[in-house]
A and B are shown apart, each in its own frame.
Chain A
């Protein structure tokens, strides 16, 4: 893992501040992956640490950051909030937005060929990218097998499923 000393110092400081005022739920694990363009992130120890549901604004903001490795603009966030307000089924609205973003050439997404070159690395990076945690051995094994067994399974399929699954709605 490639981690700068500055990043570690910053994370330790931030971690210390958080620990002083609330229960710490993150583990001090720093993950970095060049291939999948995953920046340094603090990982959850496990999924059970996530107990609070994201607001719809948080959901879209985080989704955008995960897909483009940059923050969504306030204007775009306002647009999407208004658009989502205009549809009764918010999960369906999210699906349309996700599909729109996945069609964007700027989206940061590995090719299907890259995924199949090293499925274990893809599975690990995907868990870290969307869930900020490492997969359990069971999850790792099951998902790797699922991808390997279905040659038509695409990166897009996996990304959409991760973003629509319950865990992605929590932090």
Chain B
């Protein structure tokens, strides 16, 4: 038996053991705790700090004192692109119909409490609880993450290969795959991957020649290790991080090394003819997200973008990255819909972690355009959310909320994901102050 067969069979055996009791004669899978709206959720933290002005309000250069308006996110939003004063190379949309037309757009949501910092915003979005944390960022969050709720309460329970967190950069973000909550923690955490690091130069240098263990070697290793462990009283239980099952571990190692040694080619989210030099870190992360979705068919995937934070000093770069990230999200949706397992069975949620200030700072970029920080003013608390999914499950083309009547908060995404995957009612209510964004669903 070769390695891939071994991994596949081991995985299928495990999956069969877990899943078989819940497959109905219809062939559809239902969670015991509640009906699902879809079997897969992809949450795109469209992060880096995005103003509603340049996104859902489609005001393009209005914030710079110019009259040019237009939609620079044509894959996610419906509206005409700017036709003059172009700061970026316009890429033709990869989607025929925008994601907004395939789902519900919460145009005015709010991030109501706590500092509008990146780590805070990520933590709020992934735990469903506001946080005041400003120091000591490199620790796991206080409240459980959406991954832990999923892995603890979803029925049947799934291994970590079905829950993934892919971040564009490192910093404190590796800490967000599980919390330090005493009732949850690493045992219910998600697999974490920083694609730019793991699939970048360091990965090539240290991992490209590594390999998953051969099937026979796994047995030998386990036998010897079991013997050694039996003769030592302590367990290395304090290791930071999650620990995959042996079969998952071998499959993930095979996945990583396959990409690094070129045996598993990567599709890039670029328009035809566009050179690889046009890739941004966000697009690399999105490409890795697709590889992960394609290989593991996770039920819960969270990815982020982050390049847009260049807006602290360079508004032109911000617009360019925003346009590219939008393309990447459209490309990912297209890939998902073309997959026999994920297509028409996935709900995608996009939300910035927070906005940016109404007033610019003092920095000016190469085009004389003003930059924007995010220092917790009211404008930086304005965000949007887009929930796209199958017809008959997600309301199509619906817009909810106005500036005068905002609907939804950042803390609502976690309960909404739990609702989609059918385990919301199993979560202790005291842990989630937010609500399900029911407006999005049929």
Say yes or no: A161 contacts B224, CB within 8 Å: yes
Among B198, B209, B234, B240, contact of A100 (Cβ-Cβ < 8 Å): B209
Say yes or no: A167 contacts B249, CB within 8 Å: no
- Within the assembled complex, what's the spacing in Å between the Cα atoms of A103 and B206? 10
Say yes or no: A79 contacts B202, CB within 8 Å: yes
Q: How far is the CB of B284 from chain A (nearest CB, A)?
A: 13
Interface centre among A48, A50, A80, A161 (most CB of B within 10 A): A161
- Within the assembled complex, what's the spacing in Å between the Cα atoms of A51 and B220? 27
Interface centre among B225, B229, B235, B240 (most CB of A within 10 A): B225
Residue B221 is within 8 A (CB to CB) of chain A in the complex: yes
Neighbouring A residues of B256 by C-beta, 8 Å: 96
Size of the B side of the interface (Cβ < 8 Å), in residues, is: 50
Q: How far is the CB of B168 from chain A (nearest CB, A)?
A: 11
Residue A35 is within 8 A (CB to CB) of chain B in the complex: no
Among A142, A152, A162, A164, contact of B216 (Cβ-Cβ < 8 Å): A152
If A50-B234, A146-B223 touch, whether A83 touches B197 (CB-CB below 8 Å) is: yes
Residues of A4-63 contacting chain B, CB below 8 A? 47-48, 50-51, 53, 56
Neighbouring A residues of B211 by C-beta, 8 Å: 99
* Interface residues as binary, B191-234 with A (CB distance below 8 Å gives 1, 0 otherwise): 11110011000110111011101001100110111011101111
If A95-B253, A157-B220 touch, whether A166 touches B210 (CB-CB below 8 Å) is: no
Overall SS of chain A's interface: helix
Neighbouring B residues of A165 by C-beta, 8 Å: 224-225, 228-229, 232
Nearest A-chain residue to B227, judged by Cβ: A142
Neighbouring B residues of A53 by C-beta, 8 Å: 234, 236, 238-239
If A100-B209, A153-B220, A158-B224 touch, whether A88 touches B242 (CB-CB below 8 Å) is: yes
Residue B154 is within 8 A (CB to CB) of chain A in the complex: no
Q: How far is the CB of A81 from chain B (nearest CB, A)?
A: 10
Say yes or no: B191 contacts A89, CB within 8 Å: yes
- Within the assembled complex, what's the spacing in Å between the Cα atoms of A135 and B378? 66
Residues of B153-209 contacting chain A, CB below 8 A? 160, 165, 170, 174, 177, 189-194, 197-198, 202-203, 205-207, 209
If A88-B177, A91-B239, A164-B221 touch, whether A79 touches B234 (CB-CB below 8 Å) is: no
Q: How far is the CB of B22 from chain A (nearest CB, A)?
A: 27
Nearest A-chain residue to B224, judged by Cβ: A161
The A/B interface has a contact count, at CB < 8 Å, of 147
- Within the assembled complex, what's the spacing in Å between the Cα atoms of A117 and B194? 45
- Within the assembled complex, what's the spacing in Å between the Cα atoms of A166 and B233? 9
- Within the assembled complex, what's the spacing in Å between the Cα atoms of A59 and B198? 20
Q: How far is the CB of A125 from chain B (nearest CB, A)?
A: 16
Say yes or no: A89 contacts B249, CB within 8 Å: yes
- Within the assembled complex, what's the spacing in Å between the Cα atoms of A50 and B177? 31
Say yes or no: B194 contacts A85, CB within 8 Å: yes
Size of the A side of the interface (Cβ < 8 Å), in residues, is: 44
Q: How far is the CB of A76 from chain B (nearest CB, A)?
A: 9
Neighbouring A residues of B197 by C-beta, 8 Å: 82-83, 85-86
If A83-B203, A87-B192, A92-B249 touch, whether A169 touches B239 (CB-CB below 8 Å) is: yes
Neighbouring A residues of B252 by C-beta, 8 Å: 89, 92
Residue B244 is within 8 A (CB to CB) of chain A in the complex: yes
Say yes or no: B234 contacts A166, CB within 8 Å: yes
Nearest B-chain residue to A80, judged by Cβ: B206
Say yes or no: A146 contacts B224, CB within 8 Å: yes
* Interface residues as binary, B59-98 with A (CB distance below 8 Å gives 1, 0 otherwise): 0000000000000000000000000000000000000000
If A88-B174, A157-B221, A164-B221 touch, whether A103 touches B210 (CB-CB below 8 Å) is: yes
Neighbouring A residues of B257 by C-beta, 8 Å: 96
Residues of A112-171 contacting chain B, CB below 8 A? 136, 138-139, 142-143, 146, 150, 152-153, 157-158, 160-162, 164-167, 169-170
Among A48, A92, A96, A166, contact of B228 (Cβ-Cβ < 8 Å): A166
- Within the assembled complex, what's the spacing in Å between the Cα atoms of A146 and B227? 10
Residue B241 is within 8 A (CB to CB) of chain A in the complex: yes
- Within the assembled complex, what's the spacing in Å between the Cα atoms of A92 and B246? 9
Q: How far is the CB of A86 from chain B (nearest CB, A)?
A: 4
Say yes or no: A86 contacts B234, CB within 8 Å: no
- Top 7 nearest A-B pairs (CB, nearest first) are A88-B192, A86-B197, A86-B194, A161-B224, A169-B236, A165-B228, A99-B210
19 further A-B contacts with Cβ under 8 Å, apart from A80-B206, A90-B240, are A79-B202, A83-B198, A83-B206, A88-B174, A88-B177, A89-B191, A89-B243, A95-B249, A96-B210, A96-B253, A97-B206, A99-B211, A100-B210, A138-B231, A143-B224, A143-B227, A146-B224, A167-B229, A169-B239
- Which residue numbers of A lie inside 8 Å of B, CB to CB? 47-48, 50-51, 53, 56, 79-80, 82-83, 85-92, 95-97, 99-100, 103, 136, 138-139, 142-143, 146, 150, 152-153, 157-158, 160-162, 164-167, 169-170
A-B contact pairs, 16 of them (CB 8 A): A53-B238, A56-B240, A79-B206, A82-B170, A83-B203, A86-B174, A89-B160, A89-B241, A91-B241, A96-B207, A96-B253, A99-B209, A100-B210, A143-B224, A146-B224, A170-B232
